[in-house]
Chains A and B, each alone.
Chain A
Amino acid sequence: MYSVEVQHISKSYTVKKATTPALKDISFAVKKGELFGIIGPDGAGKTSLFRILTTLLLADEGTATVEGLDVVKAYKAIREQVGYMPGRFSLYQDLTVKENLDFFATIFNTSVEENYDLIKDIYVQIEPFRDRKAGKLSGGMKQKLALSCALIHRPKVLFLDEPTTGVDAVSRKEFWEMLKRLKEQGITILVSTPYMDEAEMCDRVALMQNGSILSIDTPQQIVASFAQTMLAVRSASMLQLLNKVRASSFVENAYPSGIYHHVILKQQATADQLQQELSAAAFADLEIKKGQPTIEDCFMQLMRI
């Protein structure tokens, strides 16, 4: 059974006669209770997609359902069943932490007490500041309050638009741990992010670029389906090494990746051939090994097709 089904959704924006497509014929489905990631850079169409699914924006073409309800015909019923945390902080800055939470609970005809068990884990971390105005909170605390407000009516589906953007590596890890605990409560979670390394935290991911989905699968399967041979190379002079491998006739693509350069070989080329060529060039401290593709490597490869 699916929680979210999207079929052939397209959306474009027209500003001063210039039309920009934001979503191009997007189709996918998210299973109930799944933690589903939408991974892509700015401009991929992530926010447009979330706004269509949360009934805040109309698609130009295609249909979509959330918990079996049509996003156009049953928009009121959907709004009762979904929680949405937009990318930009959108709580009331001049209300306190407690007031914001009470406000969202009241709108949904419920109370903080009734659903406290669901948010307890997250809310206890900001409860010491319950009388502070939301606008005066730090970034991390705002994020926790926004998540608490999005959960207070016990939604069946949670939409989180770039919750970890601009957040440091430690807080990002903590946030994903919170999501895993929410998933255990049976909530379906759709989360978007520009950080490719967060894909591995999801059950399945859709890789998006320029309004299209490049691939949908489990992160393990996406990495496993990387078809080319990838090597990791390094030496004392990384910039010269990069220029050398890029110029090689055996190499399809090469780019920096942390302390190594990742090198994608052409179909018929072998690691030995590149090894010989680089050894002849006498790079100091040359190291060549088989590379382990990451989601980011897969994304870049898919961008080339």
Chain B
Amino acid sequence: MLNEKIITVDHLTKRFAAFTAVDAITFDVYKGEIFGFLGANGAGKTTAMRMLCGLSMPTSGKATVAGFDVYTQNEQIKKNIGYMSQKFSLYEDLTVKENMQLYGGIYGKSNQFIKDKTAFILEQLHLKDEANKLVGSLPLGWKQKLAFSVAIFHEPEIVFLDEPTGGVDPVTRREFWMMIYEAAANGITIFVTTHYMDEAEYCNRVSIMVDGKVEALDTPAMLKQQYQSPTMDDVFLKLARKATRSGD
């Protein structure tokens, strides 16, 4: 992991009328890091992520993503990040190949780049025989792995993963994390949310949001020491139980 900051967040705040969804959060994320972004439902994770992805204008505070300002350069941010969530990832009624062509095209990649990258991913995921099948016909585990490959198809500097492993079987869940490790080793920064606390242990650093604020941020080992907890699950419960607001 290099000490180069790829995301800087300084007192970033988002208010909806009288409700402060994100309350002056401050942190940095380093290049090649696997950064776990945890919090209870309603803690403000999604709102914070939307601001960092250039999809929502902050009320106040500063933030840069891949060197671009969230207020003035949100279009450049979108070009330099990847995004994947459990709820939305691929087009089910397009084939495996068509999905990759579509995403490559949206990000303005050349035909040669798309062709080479498509061949590379099909080889890597052992999906060569499925290239012309509709994504909707693939087993869920394959879809999630393919969705991750498509999210980093355009070789972004950062990929945002919003609960990428929800509902996935335990074997696929682990294969998915191996892909995350590999992407991080290739210098892609990973910003990930999850409800699986064992996955929090796989992150280099973890932040935990409570009621719009970042209440804790450190390596899993340090957090466990600080909160005198045997597991990240226990750390999370200790922090999230302090929350006074509920729901999402």
Using a CB–CB cutoff of 8 Å, the interface residues on chain A facing chain B are 18, 40-43, 137-141, 165-173, 194-196, 209, 239, 255-259, 296, 299-300, 303
Contacts and interface: CB of A to CB of B under 8 A. Distances in A.
Contacts of A18: 137
Contacts of B139: 43
B198 interface: yes
A138 B44 CA distance: 13
B103 interface: no
A196 B197 CA distance: 12
B233 A300 contact: no
Nearest to A125: B246
Interface string B217-248: 00011000000000111001100110100111
Interface of B: 39-42, 137, 139-141, 163, 166-172, 174, 177, 181, 185, 195-198, 201-202, 220-221, 231-233, 236-237, 240-241, 243, 246-248
Given A170-B40, A170-B237, A255-B174, A194 B166 contact: yes
B240 A168 contact: yes
Contacts of A167: 41, 195
A59 B141 CA distance: 26
A141 B137 contact: no
Contacts of B241: 170
Contact of A169 (B181, B236, B247): B236
7 contacts: A138-B41, A139-B42, A167-B41, A169-B236, A172-B195, A194-B167, A255-B174
A54 B101 CA distance: 43
A112 B237 CA distance: 34
A169 B39 CA distance: 9
Contacts of B169: 40-41, 209, 299, 303
Given A41-B140, A168-B240, A170-B40, A258 B170 contact: no
6 closest cross-chain pairs (CB), A and B: A138-B247, A41-B169, A42-B167, A139-B248, A168-B40, A140-B247
Contacts of B171: 255, 300, 303
Given A166-B195, A170-B240, A258-B198, A138 B42 contact: yes
A141 B247 contact: yes
Nearest to B182: A239
B246 A259 contact: no
Given A43-B139, A168-B40, A168-B195, A138 B248 contact: yes
Given A139-B247, A141-B247, A239-B181, A168 B41 contact: yes
